[in-house]
């Protein structure tokens, strides 16, 4: 691990990493919105990210792993400033003002998904995928591009949509984010602008990224197998293999201390180890 860290430091001296993209997902499992800045919450998450989620009658969160094609095929646009939400399906656009029209939205989802649906909201911390690493997920632009090259007919933007990362870093090589965690010695601290984050672990992926991000269809049943094989083959020297139980992982999970609450991440911020 010391050799890998030394290599990482040498590489870092020749790079100028910066935050190039911020994606938030206001409603869990629906489309992202790109923003130029995001406020850090006390929980370590980003304001408005996964702020809403859908629940069934058993209070279980309804996501793309459960509702698959039906939910994935919904196109959404959310104006955070005005609260205007547009959902587009085959029968046209549907307009809602949030949070005022929460009940109308619940009725719409209940009808569309064919089961009673309620909408939960948490403005203080959202509904993160991993409660133990509730900070934003990070990936490099080069990682997205490299991953897209493994598959015929899948674009860089499609890979970006499938893996749904919050923060994208440019100016670094593919899988640069793999050096933001290690199996011993605790989390690895780094800064984006004036905000301190800690890398925790590689982000383990579910079955959803094998689905087309617009239709929800599985067009290549070997997607997961090919991904894991290529991921292992291209694992960089600075990555700690002990952190990987398997190689169906992409991006880095993070945490942010409560002391950083209120700080703002901005596109263009420098990333510093």
What is the pLDDT at residue 65?
Answer: 80
Q: What is the pLDDT of residues 5-61, one digit of tens each?
A: 555 555 555 679 999 999 999 999 999 999 999 999 999 999 999 999 999 999 999
Give the mean pLDDT of the chain: 94
Residue ranges of domains in the chain: 2-49+128-272, 52-121
Q: Which CATH architecture has domain 2-49+128-272?
A: Beta Barrel (2.40)
Question: Following DSSP, what letter does each residue of the chain receive, concatenated?
Answer: -HHHHHHHHHHHTT---EEEEEEE-SBTTS--EEESEEEBPTTSSBTTTT-EEEE-TT--EE-HHHHHHHHHT-EEEEETTTTEEEEEETTEEEEEETTTTHHHHHHHHHHHHTS--EEEE-TTT---S-TTS-S--EEEHHHHHHHHTTSTT--HHHHHHHH--SEEEESS-TTGGGGG--SSSS-EEEEETTEEEEEEEEEE--SGGGS-TTT-----TTHHHHHHHHHHHT--TTS-GGG-SSS-EEEEEEE--GGGTT-EEETT-BEE-
What is the pLDDT at residue 66?
Answer: 77
- Name the stretches of the chain with pLDDT < 70: 1-14
What is the pLDDT at residue 154?
Answer: 97
């Amino acid at each position: 691990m010391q050799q890998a860290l030394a290599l990482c430091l040498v590489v870092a001296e020749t790079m100028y990493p910066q935050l190039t993209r911020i994606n938030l997902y206001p409603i869990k499992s629906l489309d992202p919105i790109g923003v130029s800045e995001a406020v850090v919450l006390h929980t370590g998450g980003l304001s408005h990210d996964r702020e809403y989620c859908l629940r069934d009658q058993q209070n279980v969160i309804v996501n793309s792993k459960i509702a698959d094609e039906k939910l994935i095929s919904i196109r959404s646009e959310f104006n955070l400033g005005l609260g205007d939400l547009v959902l587009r399906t085959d029968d046209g656009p549907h307009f809602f003002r949030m949070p005022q029209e929460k009940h109308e939205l619940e009725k719409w989802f209940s009808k569309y998904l064919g089961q009673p649906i309620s909408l939960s909201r948490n403005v203080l911390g959202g509904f993160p995928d991993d409660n133990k690493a509730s900070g934003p997920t990070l990936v490099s632009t080069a990682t997205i591009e490299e991953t897209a090259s493994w598959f015929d007919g899948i674009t860089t933007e499609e890979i970006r949509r499938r893996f749904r990362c919050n923060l994208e870093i440019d100016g670094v090589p593919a899988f640069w984010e793999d050096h933001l965690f290690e199996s011993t010695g605790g989390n690895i601290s780094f800064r984006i602008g004036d905000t301190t984050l800690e890398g925790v672990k590689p982000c383990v992926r579910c079955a959803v990224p094998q689905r087309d991000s617009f239709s929800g269809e599985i067009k290549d049943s070997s997607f997961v197998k090919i991904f894991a094989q290529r991921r292992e083959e291209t694992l960089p020297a600075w990555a700690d293999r002990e952190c990987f139980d398997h190689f169906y992982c992409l991006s880095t999970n993070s945490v942010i201390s409560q002391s950083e609450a209120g700080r703002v991440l901005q596109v263009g911020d420098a990333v510093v180890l």
